[in-house]
Structure 1
């Protein structure tokens, strides 16, 4: 398995705090059957600022440590980029890291909203040859309230990634239900761990893949392989999420 979203780099953000923790995560990942991890530290989220120049040597150093441990797992560079106005300018100035230097970049929204400039910026990214992957849309309050806000962005060419822990119910029943709805409506294209540690925010990829339809699981894994190797993915036509009607009960 390939994990496209993981906070495994030591000391970069709220993920692994030190090298020992990073190696514990690598060990846990291998035990789960993960062979490749994209290290995606937070960038421009208001608290963490991690540019390409710092990420790439840290990935190389971590791979050396993992090899010395005898683990058969490889770390690749990436970022979890909070959407911000100067994103394209910073990309052109080599401050940003798409997934393993591919044409796909992990994009994060604020947890409670979708910025007003989102649609235009995601469009402009695609004009520059970058396909945005919207991470954990199931945990965004605006999308939870109206999933068709995500539909419009996917229809316009963006991709999305749900979190394994969401599928597994760790963020609650509502988030789990929305995750399943997004999967069934072809509004998401990957499952990734967004792991931060080996305890409260572990990997859980096997459990998540086992919880969904095997055809979707195979599709998501094929997509992860394609992105990591720099290929584009085959998108299934997205659908609107059916909104359940509320009826007044008569007693």
Structure 2
């Protein structure tokens, strides 16, 4: 398995706190059957800034430690980039990383409470520059929770999405789990990744998510999501199914 979204690099953000923590996370990943992890420290989220050159150095150092420790997991470079206005300019200046370092895909994070007003335009402009935006954990965005039709429009216009393994197995509650299921069913999700931060409160859960996906949706869905992750890392383009319009109906008293 390949994990496209993980905060395993030590001391860069709210993920691994030390080299020992990074090694513990890698051991846990190895037990889950994960062979490659894209390290995606936060960037431009108003708290953390992690530029390409620094991430590449930390990835090289961690891979060296993993080899010495006999842990058979490879770390690849990436970023979880909060959407901001100078995105394209900073990419052209060499500050931003694509998924794995050599693909055309970029992980983009919305603020947790809303979709930025300029999101549609920026996502379109990125595609015009040859980049393929992946919106991370849309199921945990409050505006999308209330108006999933807004995500449909972005996906219809070419954006991709990555749901979190923990969301799919219910770690963040029933409401988020149900929306995650609906996004998968409506072809509004294209990748599953861990977004792991540690081995305790935010572990991987990727193997459990794939097992649940296979049980709930069948072998074809599991193969599709796993193959998509592999396709990105190999530098190719994924296959997308047409999305289905998704609108959550409100229940009595306006409660979901």
Q: TM-score, normalised by structure 2?
A: 0.95
Look up the SS of the partner of 1:165 in the other structure: helix
Structure 1 stretch displaced more, 232-241 or 207-216: 207-216
Structure 2 residue matching 1:129: 3-state secondary structure: coil
Q: CA–CA distance in 2 between the matches of 1:112 and 1:247?
A: 24
Partner of 2:126: 125
Alignment root-mean-square deviation, CA: 1.0
- Encode CA deviations 1:56-97: one digit per residue, 9 max, x unaligned: 010001000000011111000000000000000000000000
What is aligned with 2:109? Answer: 108
Cα offset, 1:39, TM superposition: 0.1
**Residue in 2 that maps onto 1:225:** 230
Cα deviation for residue 211 of structure 1 reads 1.3
Aligned residue for 1:64? 64
Please give the alpha-carbon distance, in whole angstroms, between the structure 1 residues aligned to 2:168 and 2:2.
17
Partner in structure 2 of residue 240 of structure 1? 245
Give, in whole Å, the separation in 2 of the partners of 1:105 and 1:229: 15
Name 1:159's counterpart in structure 2: 160
* 2: CA distance, partners of 1:162 / 1:170: 13
- List 4+ stretches of structure 1 deviating above 2 A: 242-248
**Bigger mean CA deviation after superposition, 77-86 or 205-214:** 205-214
Are 2:80 and 1:80 aligned?
A: yes
Contact 2:6 2:38 in 1 (8 A): yes
Match for residue 221 of structure 2?
216
TM-score, normalised to structure 1's length? Answer: 0.97
Report SS of the residue matched to 1:81.
strand
Equivalents in 1 of 2:113, 2:146: separation in Å? 10
Q: Deviations over 1:91-129 (max 9, x none)?
A: 000000011121000000000000000000000000011
Report the secondary structure of 2:100's partner residue: helix
Structure 2: gaps (5+ residues): none
Q: 1:115 to 1:242 in 2, by over 3 A?
A: closer
Q: Offset of 1:218 from its aligned partner?
A: 1.1
- How many matched pairs? 248
Distance 1:210 1:27 in 2: 20
Q: Secondary structure at the match of 1:98?
A: coil
Q: Partner residue of 2:185? A: 184
